[in-house]
Amino acid sequence: MGLESFTYITSLNSSNPVGASDTVAEGDDHIRGLKTVLLASFPSISGAVTLTHTQINDAAQLAAANAFTAANTFDGSVSILGGNSLVIKDSTNVDDVTVSHDGTDLNIVGTTTTDINITGITAIAAGTVDADFDAITATSYGGITEANLVDKTASETISGATWDFQALTAVTFGGIASANLLDKSATETVSGNWTFSGTLNSKDPDDFAEESVALSATNTDAAQPGFKGAPINTQNGNYTLVLADAGKIIRKASGGAGETITIPANASVAFPTGTIIEIQNDGGGDLSIAITSDTLEQWATGSTGTRTLSDNNKAVIEKVSSTAWKYGSTDQ
């Protein structure tokens, strides 16, 4: 009689029932036995199994060799234990990308012919980005060191390959065409009003007696010191000359007597040798013209020191050397 002991699939005997020696009455025993085997062998299956035989075979290969030959979806977490790596292969079964963890860092390594593309990330929360970008080198980014890509307070040095600054426009940079900022062999055209202060191109500041002068200004403008006009600077109290007063008229228009106009020392204000300044006194009283540590000498008498300019008179002072001025007036 071909009736086996039914437990799991491995207990089934494909030769049973034997045939002529088995009775029809034992048919129900065989049917109950098959049900017992199926329920015992697949106790957790409560619905339809939709995997193909290839996918089931892949699952078996995972258990045996941790390798997949078809697309697979995991509904839960995947653990890689014991220092093992997750290796993604190409269509020819050649390694493309390896993901591993060395106990400190997560390492993603591609081959020399493989690009690693990360897309779909819209935001990275603060504090989640490690400042150690080992794969970024100064050579790759035109001289900017990897630390400066993270720490924006560091100084960036740009060198190496050509950089293309498309956002630079001629309007923003006072008439210099954006192309000329890239191609230094091109001719730059400077337009608009430019203000220069301090030392220009390592030249002596004496070369620039007047600051904030538009490059397009001409000597026909009476507001500019020069051959065609002498701008008036009205000062009704005590006043110390500044570099911008070179070539101007310093006028006292009110206040009576007792005010002083002071010529500063060359060490503090370096007027160019040859500077001429006119001083007019219409203030209703005497005006003193003093000098700090340099020499002020009267043309006619050779007297030095503080000079007195009477009301309704004018004087001219001229710098004749680095520390010496000459003085002449209508009331001397």
Contacts (Cβ under 8 Å, ≥6 apart) of 134: 146
- Residue 245's pLDDT band, with cuts at 50, 70 and 90, is very high
Mean model confidence pLDDT for the chain: 76
The answer to whether residues 209 and 226 touch, using CB atoms and an 8 Å cutoff, is no
Q: Identify the DSSP state of 210.
A: S
Query: Residue 136 has what pLDDT?
Result: 42
Whether 202 is covered by a domain: the verdict is no
Query: Residue 75 has what pLDDT?
Result: 72
Alpha-carbon gap, residue 247 to 263, rounded angstroms: 14
Residue 276 has pLDDT above 50, yes or no: yes
Query: Residue 216 has what pLDDT?
Result: 43
Whether 227 is covered by a domain: the verdict is no
Alpha-carbon gap, residue 173 to 175, rounded angstroms: 6
> Once rounded to an integer, what is the mean pLDDT over residues 240-246?
95
Whether 242 is covered by a domain: the verdict is yes
Query: Residue 184 has what pLDDT?
Result: 55
Query: Residue 210 has what pLDDT?
Result: 47
Contacts (Cβ under 8 Å, ≥6 apart) of 197: 211, 212
Task: Write down how long the chain is.
Answer: 332
Query: Residue 109 has what pLDDT?
Result: 85
Whether 241 is covered by a domain: the verdict is yes
The answer to whether residues 291 and 324 touch, using CB atoms and an 8 Å cutoff, is no
> Once rounded to an integer, what is the mean pLDDT over residues 95-120?
80
User: Could you tell me the sign of the dihedral formed by the alpha carbons of 38, 44, 48, 54, in that order?
Assistant: negative
Query: Number of folded domains in the chain?
Result: 1
The answer to whether residues 6 and 37 touch, using CB atoms and an 8 Å cutoff, is yes
With pLDDT > 90 as the criterion, what percentage of the chain qualifies? 30
Residue 244, CA distances (Å) to 30, 140, 171, 210, 321 in order: 117, 50, 30, 5, 18
Provide the pairing of β-strand 307-309 with 324-329: unpaired
Residue 201 has pLDDT above 60, yes or no: no
Residue predicted with more confidence, 295 or 158: 295
Residues facing 79 on adjacent strands? none
- Residue 186's pLDDT band, with cuts at 50, 70 and 90, is low
> Once rounded to an integer, what is the mean pLDDT over residues 323-331?
94
Assigned token pair, 59: 């699952």
| CATH number of the domain encompassing residue 303 | 2.60.120
Alpha-carbon gap, residue 55 to 61, rounded angstroms: 10
Residue predicted with more confidence, 279 or 170: 279
Whether 281 is covered by a domain: the verdict is yes
> Once rounded to an integer, what is the mean pLDDT over residues 53-67?
73
Residue predicted with more confidence, 219 or 97: 97
For the entire predicted model, the pTM comes to 0.37
Query: Residue 127 has what pLDDT?
Result: 53
Whether 306 is covered by a domain: the verdict is yes
Residue 284 has pLDDT above 70, yes or no: yes
Residue type, 329: S
Whether 18 is covered by a domain: the verdict is no
CA neighbours closer than 13 Å in the CB half-sphere of residue 191:
7
- Residue 140's pLDDT band, with cuts at 50, 70 and 90, is very low
Query: Residue 53 has what pLDDT?
Result: 87
Residue 178 has pLDDT above 50, yes or no: yes
Whether 103 is covered by a domain: the verdict is no
Residue 304 has pLDDT above 90, yes or no: yes
Query: Residue 239 has what pLDDT?
Result: 96
Q: Flag the least confident range among 56-65, 220-229, 303-312.
A: 220-229
Assigned token pair, 35: 């049900």
Residue 88, CA distances (Å) to 2, 56, 82, 110, 237 in order: 51, 20, 18, 10, 86
> Once rounded to an integer, what is the mean pLDDT over residues 118-138?
55
Show the domain range for 290. Answer: 232-329
Max mean pLDDT among 88-97, 103-112, 246-255 falls in 246-255
> Once rounded to an integer, what is the mean pLDDT over residues 132-151?
49
Residue 261 has pLDDT above 50, yes or no: yes
